[in-house]
Amino acid sequence: MRPILDPLLLTPGPLTTTLRTKQAMLHDWGSWDSAFNRITGELCSQLLGIAGGGDSHVCVPLQGSGTFAVEAALGTLVPRDGKVLVPNQGAYCARILRILGVLGRAAVDLPTPEDQAIDPAAIDAALAADAAITHVAVVHCETGTGVLNPLAEIARVTAARGRALIIDAMSSFGALPVDARTLPFDALIAASGKCLEGVPGMGFAIVRRQAMQASAGNCHSLALDLHDQWAYLERTTQWRFTPPTHVVVALAEALAQYFEEGGCGARGERYAANCSRLVQGMRGLGLRPLLAPQVQAPIIVTFHAPAHPAWNFQAFYEGVRERGFILYPGKLTRIETFRIGCIGALTPHDMDQVVAAIGATLRDMGVLPRA
């Protein structure tokens, strides 16, 4: 069992990082220093490479959490008279709709059941019915439940209708393959503290170069203007405003380990093994996943809460935490569930340990009989 003072994070970010990544943050960096600027440039080049981008795309880093980068991309790339179709299947899709409302951008809410993948045919029909829609904004992996959406098919129907695609790949980038050479999109947005296993504090957008060039003057904000951030980086190699230096160098070190592990394929395989071991162990405790296997992403798993009068999520959370593991606090689904993440510097053995901790906690609560 892990020491209580060093709990594992079973969340989709922040997540457990390696000692090497933590040690990278022990040094101070000048934000205008040439050495730090080189790290930024190399980082952006590596992120572009993971996305299959080249001269056709640019990588723009941004201070803040992933939501900062999502708002920046929407506010920069969607013209003020644009209109965005949002397939809505959970909390992070709903957040995109809320951002668009705050930005004053027109939006179309396309409801999708929270336990099902987005239907590309429904997107196609919505685009056919409304010629005013300029963009589709989709969440690749909706971590409210863990649903994996058919990104290639969504991109295909969006491109066939002549509309632009903006992808929230926050919880999938780096573990699930995306190739800008074959997948048409205007922007893909992710962050440092997810599948790349850095620490939170930096978002980034992989943007089609022509879309970026055409976006000058769209943004509602100075700080969140991706076009201005990109143009300044291109001209000076520096961030416009004070960068999260420790976050940047931690991500650079995390990326070194990412490539040592074998890149996207190896990272995705480890997460899939974590997910499989977790689901198998939880079934042994009588706990069922919410999702069907064919739509389950290997990122985070949502489980039905026990139908038992002694069940109480807060007591459950505290009991598992006392045993060295931090779960995602609370639920985002309409029915009673809880979620366990599979990403971060975790192995299948760690998933065995968390299952053991959950079983012990449920027995202490009286939800499961004592052995």
What pLDDT, in 10s, does the model give residues 69-99?
999 999 999 999 999 999 999 999 999 999 9
Q: Which CATH number does 8-15+263-365 carry?
A: 3.90.1150.10
Average of per-residue pLDDT values in the chain: 95
Nearest Cα to Cα of residue 308 among 251, 238, 362: 362
- For 95-146, the pLDDT digits (tens) are 999 999 999 999 999 999 999 999 999 999 999 999 999 999 999 999 989 9
Sequence ranges of the chain with CATH classification 3.40.640.10: 20-259
pLDDT at 4: 40
pLDDT at 2: 40
202 touches 190 (CB < 8 A): no
Q: Which CATH number does 20-259 carry?
A: 3.40.640.10
Nearest Cα to Cα of residue 119 among 131, 143, 133, 136: 136
Whole-number Å distance between alpha carbons of 86 and 108: 6
pLDDT at 5: 52
For residue 36 the two structure tokens come to 């730090």
Indicate the SS3 state at residue 341. Answer: strand
Sequence ranges of the chain with CATH classification 3.90.1150.10: 8-15+263-365
pLDDT at 345: 97
Global pTM reads 0.95
| Mean pLDDT, residues 282-301 taken together | 96
- For 210-230, the pLDDT digits (tens) are 999 999 999 999 999 999 999
- For 2-42, the pLDDT digits (tens) are 434 579 999 988 999 999 999 999 999 999 999 999 999 99
pLDDT at 1: 38
Burial of 29 (0-12, 13-18, 19+ CB in 10 A): middle
Whole-number Å distance between alpha carbons of 209 and 23: 35
Q: Does the pLDDT value for residue 51 go beyond 70?
A: yes
pLDDT at 144: 87
Which residues on adjacent β-strands are paired with residue 325?
A: 8
- For 352-363, the pLDDT digits (tens) are 999 999 999 999
